[in-house]
Amino acid sequence: MPRSELVQSLVRGLELLRMAASRPGGMRLNELAQESGLKKNTTHNLVRTLCARGFLIKDTMNRFSTGPAIFELLAGQHRDALRERAGIALLQLSNEFSGDTLTVSTIDAGAVRCVLRISPDRPGELQKAPEISFAPYTSTTAVALQAGGSEAAAALEQQYPFEEYGAGMWGTRKAFAKAKTDTRKKGYFLRQKEQHFTLAFLLPDCLALGFSGDDPKSAVTSRIVAAARFRSAIQ
């Protein structure tokens, strides 16, 4: 692309960001201006804009280095790649457990959300972000994710206080804490009834793999093995 077609202020800002990121200890404003060949006032305005959007941060020594927005972009790329692998693995898993509804879920924006789903009524179809959420404290998937002890799980429990949302299910905080401890030890949370089961496994990156179906007697063993394969496939 010809240089004249580029947005020069954006090009300059990106070059400053690249320079600051290349130095482990960051760079001062005058260093950025000198190395970029820009006027100090222009450099200041560009750096201030990058700081305002979280791409740069200034430390107590007035050095500028990469800010949280950079890591958010990288985390987003990692999350998208992880979910892509999870989708492929979930399709493979559905061939083995064709009678189950399979889900991959996470805690997102203060809610336990399903991000991938395959169900017997739509075999072979991977549903992405199917607008399904799970209730904290009460759903199998939510309990598994809450047991993971992530920052997102802690924030979820602050948003949905136990006394209001969990006491009806668990009675006391101690009982719920024990359930979370047991879930972490086993790696999964299971709820069985006579004709139905729900089962959720903890995965890396605040994800949970869920199974639900109508064969409680064979619910655990074969699915523990399958969950281990799934975990290996997405890592």
**What CATH number is attached to the domain comprising 129?**
3.30.450.40
- Which residue range forms the structural domain that includes residue 204? 72-234
Task: Give the list of residues 6+ apart from residue 31 with CB closer than 8 angstroms, or none.
Answer: none
Same domain, 130 and 226: yes
pLDDT digits (tens, 9 = 90+) for 17-60: 999 989 888 999 999 999 999 999 999 999 999 999 998 999 98
pLDDT digit string, tens, across residues 215-227: 767 778 899 999 9
Residues 119 and 47 in one domain: no
E-strand stretches of 90-196: 101-108, 111-118, 127-128, 133-134, 188-192
User: Quick one: 31 and 95 in the same domain?
Assistant: no
- For CA atoms 163, 183, 132, 99, the dihedral sign is negative
pTM metric for this prediction: 0.71
Residue 113 has pLDDT above 90, yes or no: yes
Per-residue pLDDT band at 1 (split at 50, 70, 90):
very low
- Sheet strands side by side (includes 56-58): 27-28, 63-66, 56-58
Whether residues 102 and 27 fall in one domain: no
Does 24 share its domain with 99?
no
Q: Same domain for 211 and 149?
A: yes
* Dist CA 213 CA 190 (whole Å): 12
Residues 16 and 102 placed together within one structural domain of the fold: no
Which percentage of the chain shows pLDDT scores above 90?
A: 73
Last residue of a domain, one of 24, 44, 66: 66
Examine the domain organization and report whether 123 and 190 are in the same domain: yes
Residues 33 and 89 in one domain: no
Number of domains in the chain: 2
Distances (CA, A) of 11 to 5, 7, 28, 46, 51: 11, 6, 19, 10, 16
